[in-house]
Every structure is written in C-alpha cells, then in structure tokens.
Amino acid sequence: MSTPDWEPLWSNAADTYSRIQGNIGKVMRGQSEAIRKLLAAFAAGGHVLLEDVPGTGKTTLAKALACSIDADFQRIQFTPDLLPADILGVSLFNQREQAFEFHEGPVFTNILLADEINRASPRTQSALLEAMGEGQVSLDSQRRPLDSLFFVVATQNPIEFQGTYPLPEAQMDRFLMHVRIGYPDEAAEAKIIRLVRSEESGGTDARPNTADGGAEAPAAIPQDAVFAARDEVHAIHVSETIETYMVDLVFATRYPERYGEPLSKWIQVGASPRGALGLDRCSRAYAWLAGHDHVTPDDVREIVHGVLRHRLMLTYEATAANVTADQVIDELVKVVAVA
C-alpha cells in the first residue's frame, strides 16, 4: 500500500490543525482564541457565524482558512437584491440540446464565505438552510448533494442595522458556533501595522500560503487529512459526568426558574437540542485541539459561549437593562455545577 503524498508533511491529524492554526496566525495577529474556535467548529464539521465590528478581520479569517486547505472556495457578497438562484444555481434551456441544463451556484463548493449575510432578504438567507442542515440542495424536483467537505463561514456586522435583515432563529440555529472576533491588543495592533507596511513596500509576503520571510510554505492541507482529524475528534471520550454537565447547562436555559433570579428574568426562550449536540461536538473538538483524549469541564466552559450565545432569546427586561447573551451564559456557568 503506497504512502499518501501528504504523509511526510502532515504526520498526523493534530499536526495538520496545528499547521493550519499557525498559517492563519500569520495574517490574523492577536486573534488566537478566535482562530481556535473557528478550527474547533471546522474539526467538528459544523458551520460558523463570525460577528464583530468592521475591520476586525472576519473576512480575512475565513479566506485564510480557505487558503490553508486544498479545497474549493467561493465567496458570496450578500446584498438586498441577491436572489436564491444567485446562491444555489439555475436551470437554463440549451437550444442546441433541446434540454434544460443546471448551472451550479457558488454553494457547490467546499468552503463558502457568506459575507455580510444579514444584508440579504430572508428569502435569500433561507436558501442556505437545507445546504447547511442536510448537505444537499433541492431544485427542479431533484436533490443535488454537496461535497462531503462543506463548511459555511458567514459574517455579519452587529452595529449597522440600516438595510439589514436579522437572521431568523431557525437559521441561527444551523450555525454550530457564533464567534466574536474582538479588537486586537496594543502589541498585536502594532504587528498588524508593520505587516501591512511590509506588504506595501514589497517586503515579506504574509499571505496565508507562504511562510515567514517569503519562502514558500508546504502545500495546502489535503482533504484526507481534514477527514482524518474529524475521525479523531469523534473518538474523544466524554464521561457521563461531563455529559450530564452539558445537558444541565442547556436545560438551565429552558427552565431558568429552577435557578432563580436573575436567570428567570433574563431568558425568554432557551437553547434547542441542537445546543446540546453543539456543546458535545465542539467540546470534543476543543479538547482534541488542546491535545486531550477526553473532555474536561474547562473544555466545555471554553466553548459554551460560542455554542449558546446565538441560541438564546432574552426577555424585554434583559434587553432594556443592556444584559447580553454572554452575561447570561456567564451566570449559567456560575450557577450550574459539575455533578
């Protein structure tokens, strides 16, 4: 049996993701936590919603991941006039063949960047629901499967509301994680300035597919290595104690009155079963990225905000008091104990 071409470069699945993380870190300075959470969702086989103010690197992060993988990449700039056919594709009549031919839309790819997804109408946003949930597209009475490697990275701006359409709860629930980028610290900001200045002057090429000093980096990660990593994530052990802890966290969002105030005043609708499944998948992926063979309570706490923040509907009282979903989850972590 011949050795795969990528074996000398990517000796194991953990090394694969370590190299991806380092590669992305070359263009995303000071965002190691956001990178780690993006990779956790990618290793778990889910989709990610990136949210933060303009200029924090949401699009750069998604494109850097795509450049690190030997996979097809498509970007859709969502606008109010975008139609479902612009995403899914359309059947056109071929006069020569006297038959309809289907022309695939950008959703038929491996890594899809849905940029500023909340700028499109709800009808267009919903075009992604089946693709994200079932890995297929139904058009013209036919089911068209997507590739096994299909990963959606959507971005949105939380501070600009003119000309936007908030994502409905059904679509928000399709995202495995909701990741907030945040501003870099002072040291990282200075590195970003120097990095861009060097690129402008023709110096170090800091694109994600090159190494430091402008030397070419190893070839992009093959898809076989990505699937091997996912197999290892599936094998991470989850004890009964940790499983109970994850279920208790989710049920605390559904029955906050069990924990008294302030949770009972803050939560209107709790997380769906997808929330529990997301905690399980992401905690295993996060544990695997940390080099653990089992999930710890700290692994769950590290990813619980990203998994649950977009699955909670807060009360009017919480909104009026400027209580955020992250503050609610902080309280959940505080009152829900590990059995």
DSSP 206-266: --TTB-GGGPBPPPPBPHHHHHHHHHHHHT-B--HHHHHHHHHHHHHHH-GGGG-TTHHHH
What pLDDT digit, counting tens, does each position of 318-330 carry? 999 999 999 999 9
How many percent of the chain have pLDDT more than 70? 89
pLDDT for residue 3 is more than 60: no
Pick the CATH number of 13-223 from 2.40.110.10, 3.40.50.620, 3.40.50.300, 3.30.930.10: 3.40.50.300
How many percent of the chain have pLDDT more than 90? 40
Greater confidence (186 vs 248) lies with: 248
Binned at pLDDT 50, 70 and 90, residue 240 comes out as very high
Determine the Cα–Cα distance for residues 47 and 45; give it in Å rounded to an integer.
Answer: 7
CATH level 3 topology of 236-335: Helicase, Ruva Protein; domain 3 (1.10.8)
pLDDT for residue 98 is more than 70: yes
For residues 172-197, give the mean pLDDT: 81
Q: What share of the chain is helix, strand, coil (3-state, %, to 5)?
A: 45, 15, 35
For residues 300-312, give the mean pLDDT: 94
Query: Quick one: 243 exposed, middle or buried, by C-beta within 10 A (0-12, 13-18, 19+)?
Result: middle
Instruction: Sketch the domain layout of the chain as residue ranges.
Output: 13-223, 236-335
- Whether 98 and 117 have beta carbons less than 8 Å apart is answered as no
Greater confidence (10 vs 251) lies with: 251
> pTM for the complete prediction?
0.82
For residues 96-100, give the mean pLDDT: 80
What pLDDT digit, counting tens, does each position of 253-298 carry? 999 999 998 999 999 999 999 999 999 999 999 999 888 889 999 9
pLDDT for residue 66 is more than 90: no
Instruction: Taking the CA atoms of 326, 330, 335 and 338 in sequence, report the sign of the dihedral they define.
Output: positive
